[in-house]
């Protein structure tokens, strides 16, 4: 391994899965979503083109699966022009170092996410006490120490453009993490939302396993700023996405997306903000 690059000390394989694990879905002709255990990666670009980008980098230990999925779609030996990270949580950067070494490709994330990706800062500890079931209770075993991508990671351009993703712009959607971004393409209103919202209720292990669609708040045990999360969701609702790939759960489009997002924004304090948990502000009452 390149000695400049290192995972956190607590990096490890996490035994969690869903029925979609290993399955890829073509959401649009140039937008492909592949599920690694419980998290989604996106491949953006036409399958006959060598100009494509990987968004997010899966679970720990998933590099071979991601390379295989990429080669299946773009051909043997294909490599993305860039990897863009929606944020730096372990389940979105799990294979990033092996992928950098295999593809020698640049990586981009929001400036405010860089401390967590260059070994400088830990994410706050996940909150196993937050209202919300088994996954939250499991969260203390999740890797939390920062990885270090050194000079291999660069900030996204401040003009909102996304390198190698013509037509897309990044939207700052903090709350789940400080430097969380979502990617949006105006022409067909395609959205890659990361964990700004997800389409599966993560507080139910059963729903994670079966991937029943439910437009939901960001994963609770890792979300530390609910006010910002709500504001970010408002931004995403207002751009009126027609189709969305989220960090967890199935891709979603049409009314299911529009109505679900609207409801989540309008009733955020009731349905999204946890009733209790260490990152929930005291002023929040029912
Ligand atoms: Zn996350
Ligand atoms: Zn996630």
CATH number at residue 268: 3.60.15.10
Mean pLDDT score across all residues of the chain? 91
144: containing domain: 24-154+164-272
Q: At 101, is the pLDDT very low, low, confident or very high (cuts 50, 70, 90)?
A: very high
Query: What tens digit of pLDDT does each residue of 170-205 get?
Result: 999 999 999 999 999 999 999 999 999 999 876 666
Q: For ligand 1, an ion, list residues with CB under 5 A.
A: 89, 195
pLDDT recorded at residue 222 = 84
pLDDT recorded at residue 285 = 44
Domain count within the chain = 1
Report the distance separating Cα 242 and Cα 188, nearest Å: 7
232 Cα: distance to centroid of ligand 1 (angstroms): 14
Pair 87, 113: CB distance under 8 Å:
yes
Is 120 contained in some domain?
A: yes
Percent of the chain residues topping a pLDDT of 70: 94
Is 36 contained in some domain?
A: yes
93 Cα: distance to centroid of ligand 1 (angstroms): 10
Is 129 contained in some domain?
A: yes
Is 194 contained in some domain?
A: yes
Is 191 contained in some domain?
A: yes
In angstroms, how far is the first alpha carbon of the chain from the final one? 51
150 Cα: distance to centroid of ligand 2 (angstroms): 22
pLDDT recorded at residue 142 = 87
215 Cα: distance to centroid of ligand 2 (angstroms): 14
Pair 104, 72: CB distance under 8 Å:
no
Ligand lying closest to the C-alpha of residue 40: 2
Is 17 contained in some domain?
A: no
Is 283 contained in some domain?
A: no
Is 2 contained in some domain?
A: no
Distances (CA, A) of 129 to 177, 222, 275: 19, 11, 11
């Amino acid at each position: 391994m390149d000695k400049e690059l290192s995972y956190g000390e607590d990096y490890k394989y996490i035994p969690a899965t869903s029925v979609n694990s290993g399955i890829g879905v073509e959401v649009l002709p140039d937008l492909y979503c592949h599920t690694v255990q419980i998290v989604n990666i996106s491949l953006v670009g036409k399958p006959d083109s060598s100009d494509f980008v990987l968004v997010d980098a899966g679970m720990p230990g998933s590099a071979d699966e991601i390379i295989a999925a990429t080669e299946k779609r773009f051909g043997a030996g294909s490599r993305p022009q860039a990897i863009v990270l929606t944020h730096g949580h372990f389940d979105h950067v799990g294979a990033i170092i092996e992928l950098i070494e295999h593809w020698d490709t640049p990586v981009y994330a929001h400036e405010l996410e860089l401390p967590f990706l260059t070994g400088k800062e830990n994410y706050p500890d996940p909150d196993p006490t937050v209202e919300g079931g088994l996954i939250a209770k499991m969260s203390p075993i999740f890797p939390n120490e920062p990885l270090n991508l050194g000079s291999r990671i660069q900030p996204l351009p401040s003009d909102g453009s996304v390198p190698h993703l013509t037509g897309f712009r990044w939207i700052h959607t903090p709350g789940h993490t400080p430097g969380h971004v979502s990617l949006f393409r105006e022409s067909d209103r395609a959205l890659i939302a990361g964990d700004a919202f997800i389409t599966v209720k993560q507080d139910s292990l059963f729903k994670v396993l079966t991937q029943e669609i439910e437009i939901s708040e960001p994963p609770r045990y890792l979300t530390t700023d609910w006010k910002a999360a709500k504001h970010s969701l408002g931004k995403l609702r207002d751009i009126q996405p027609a189709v969305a790939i989220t960090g967890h759960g199935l891709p979603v489009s049409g009314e299911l997306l529009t109505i679900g997002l609207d409801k989540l924004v309008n009733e955020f304090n009731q349905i999204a903000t946890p009733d209790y948990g260490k990152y929930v502000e005291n002023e929040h009452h029912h």
